[in-house]
Amino acid sequence: MAMFIVFVWVVFFLCILTTALLKWNEVKYKRNGLPPGTMGWPVLGETTEFLKQGPAFMKNQRSRYGSFFRSHLLGCPTIVSMDAELNRYILVNEAKGLVPGYPQSMLDILGKCNIAAVHGSAHKYMRGALLGLINPTMIRDNLLPKIDEFMRSHVSNWDNKIIDIQEKTKEMAFLSSLRQIAGPESGSISEAFMPEFFKLVLGTLSLPINLPNTNYRRGFQARQNIVSLLRNLIEDRRRASSQEKQEPDMLYLLMKGGTEGKYKLSDNEIIDLIITILYSGYETISTTSMMAVKYLHDHPKVLEELRKEHVSIRARKKPEDPLTYEDFKSMSFTRAVIFETSRLATIVNGVLRKTTKDMEINGYIIPEGWKIYVYTREINYDPQIYPDPLAFNPWRWLDKSTENQHYFLIFGGGTRQCPGKELGVAEISTFLHYFLTSYRWEEVGGDKLMKFPRVEAPNGLHIKVSSH
């Protein structure tokens, strides 16, 4: 009996403590004029529920509080916007006090000079330096030949094998980007670089708690190792610059200040920009490629139409001929498949902004320093924008107005629209070209897919590959 009484008192005490902690966090962030919502636990907020439940958490909060509500996510008080019109307004109004608001873990691991962290004139300068590396002329003359050579080689030995397409597309996205950045030297550093990079990626979406064996700690340590590798590479380039003609890869151009020498960056800025290029392209390219293979397997009519486009291109060429920029621009159905894959799989759930002053948005007062999570995921499934939204229908994108409509936020929006969009499309298109014209495949085992917080197959996505 005594034990039972003790147990009851312990439960009662825990209930009181829980209520007090939840109430304390609500009081701490209480402001007049805030949107409705809840703030969760001290420090953690509602991050655990958000990461575990994902879209279900968002839908539940929207059903309780509407499409504009407050929460506490990834260590910050946050306003969540799930309204299409408001999302567009927030994304195109950086000049009015809405700047990038990425989590502290991402800023620490990607670096203070990464293009997603800076704003104003610094962002304009860094974006100019980046666009000088990946504009259409550079894609045509410099990058596409490298991509073509890499993709042809990467898929060349898959015949009659069971492969994990998730693992292969991750390797593909990382190694292809590293080849564009570091040229011939990419081969000598890739073995040390790749495992550190994968740890860095995991660390960017975590609570910034610097304790042993946390993703944040591993990611931050991985950044330090990557910085060391890149700094040594830059020094080696400087020592060799007077002795031999160097290949005009991205690193060469960054050290030179761009094609015209107008963007002079420090070594720290160069390193952070390289990490940003690798990071921003890696997840979208690898995951979109994996999910395209998955959707094509599940939709034979789409696969037939796509294969027809690529066989037609290959029929005009000798077997050894590379893809040209004109070939890439002619891949209209391929582009449609890529966009539809990105929409339906929702590779990017949303973007973060931060207020630089108290602001009135949607009739509410948002305090200075609060984050605004522009949650674009649900827009991808809005039947008013995309009829029959859960169907995999690339044909919807052949109408160019779909790509140009105001709510097309797959690649961000406003001045922050992904500058590497066309480069990413070129990489995925080239991969699909060599994969589809070389092989057929079937899934092995029905592997599980997760859609949040990242799109991934926890146990891999295995396929059996055979040549035509």
Q: Which residues are annotated as a binding site for heme?
A: 418
For CA atoms 374, 380, 386, 388, give the dihedral sign: negative
Q: 430 — phi, psi (to 5°)?
A: -70, -40
Annotated binding site: 418
Token readout for 383 is 């039947």
Amino acid letter, 274:
I
- Reported as type and span, the H/E element at residue 344 is helix 332-345
Q: Convert 112-146 to b/e letters by CB count within 10 Å (16 or more is b).
A: ebbbbbbbeeebebbeebbebbbeeebbbebbbeb
Short-list 463, 465, 468, CA closest to 165: 463
d(CA 81, CA 406) in angstroms, rounded, equals 16
Bridge partners for 375 per DSSP:
350
402 neighbors 385 (Cβ within 8 angstroms): no
465, 468, 467, 441: which is closest to 162 by C-alpha? Answer: 465
How many angstroms separate the CA atoms of 380 and 455, rounded?
A: 15
Is-cis flag, bond preceding 453, omega within 30? yes
Report the C-alpha gap between 194 and 229 in whole angstroms: 11
Tokens 């990489």 belong to residue: 427
How would you classify the pairing of strands 359-361 and 364-366? antiparallel
Neighbours of 254 (CB within 10 A): 25
Angle at 87 between CA 82 and CA 90, to 5 degrees: 135
> What's at 390, amino acid-wise?
L
462-467/161-164 β-pairing: antiparallel
Q: How far apart are CA 293 and CA 332, in angstroms?
A: 18
Single out the residue of 174, 157, 164, 150 nearest to residue 439, CA to CA.
157
